[in-house]
Amino acid sequence: MQFEVEKIWDHAPHNAFTDLIRYKERWYCVFREGENHISPDGAIRVLASDTGREWHSVGLLTSDDSDLRDPKLSITPQGQLMLCAAEKPHDTTRFSHQSLTWFSDDGVNWSDKHSVGDLGYWLWRVTWHRDRAYGVAYRTGKGVKRSVRLYQSDDGRTFDTLVDTLYDEGYPNESVIVFEGDTALCLLRHDGVPVNGLLGVAQPPYTGWQWQDLGVRIGGPDLLRLPDGRYVAAVRLYDEGARTALCWLDREAGSLSEFLTLPSGGDTSYAGMVFHDQQLWVSYYSSHEEKTAIYLARVALPLC
């Protein structure tokens, strides 16, 4: 399979947890940078590129009293760029995490942050469908019952609970929702016992879900439905060493099959994907070279 990969950023001691989007004919890549994988100085770096080849920083979102983590990008029905992330406060006596959103018309100038969802629930990624945002948040904090909750929003500034307990066996957490028509699919990381990812499927109004065990442990999931109807997932796989992998999702069988291992290892994964100009563009991070850095892959997918 033909693909190319280049490192696009490594300026901070630790650069990780990416997402990628194409907005107003430009590319934007966001990620967390800080001293370590978990450190109080976490900030959100925004890179932009006209071609996807040369990247430059256009923004840095910071917090004086929290670690900003795992930014994700989407485009609102009003045509604004929306950034969703979570903050972990330096003082966690009151709450462990707060989900946040920001908005921009140009990827450079961002609104003030909006606190969304419930305290202690980490809204990990947002997907828009028919002018409404959907996202799964997982419960965080010490000594709490692990579970995930489904939110919806009409504006990205206020999120309401659609399903209070979406899944609560083991430790469900990171997720992505995609839509096929009005059918919703959720790829869900699941730690605990068994330590396998899950695929959830639901019909409107998305209050009743059916779950399948994918039979493989995953981390940092992203999922994309291609124009030809195939589903490609970007995940961290753990068997035979941690790596960032691209997999085909067989929706009917409830299985993932790896078709490409991207150059990666150690502390890695958390990809963003865009299909553009007949190529799959993938942002991700990895520590397989000198330091934890941000990479961009361009993959020529085989025809089905």
Average confidence (pLDDT) per 10 residues, the chain, 304 residues: 96 98 98 95 98 97 97 98 98 95 98 98 98 98 95 98 97 98 98 94 98 97 97 96 97 96 97 97 96 97 81
Q: For residue 65, give both structure tokens.
A: 């009293």
Question: What's the pTM?
Answer: 0.97
What is the length of the chain?
304
Q: For residue 134, give both structure tokens.
A: 């959907």
Number of Cβ within a 10 Å radius of residue 194: 11
The Cα 187–Cα 189 span in angstroms is 7
| pLDDT given for residue 193 in this prediction | 85
Tokens 């209070």 appear where?
164
Give the rounded distance of the alpha carbon of 136 from its chain centre.
11
The Cα 300–Cα 304 span in angstroms is 12
| pLDDT given for residue 121 in this prediction | 97
Residue type for 246, please? Answer: L
Number of Cβ within a 10 Å radius of residue 2: 9
| pLDDT given for residue 240 in this prediction | 87
Domains of the chain with CATH codes = 3-299 (2.120.10.10)
Residues whose CB falls within 8 Å of the CB of residue 301, separated by 6 or more in sequence, listed in order: 1, 226, 232, 279, 280
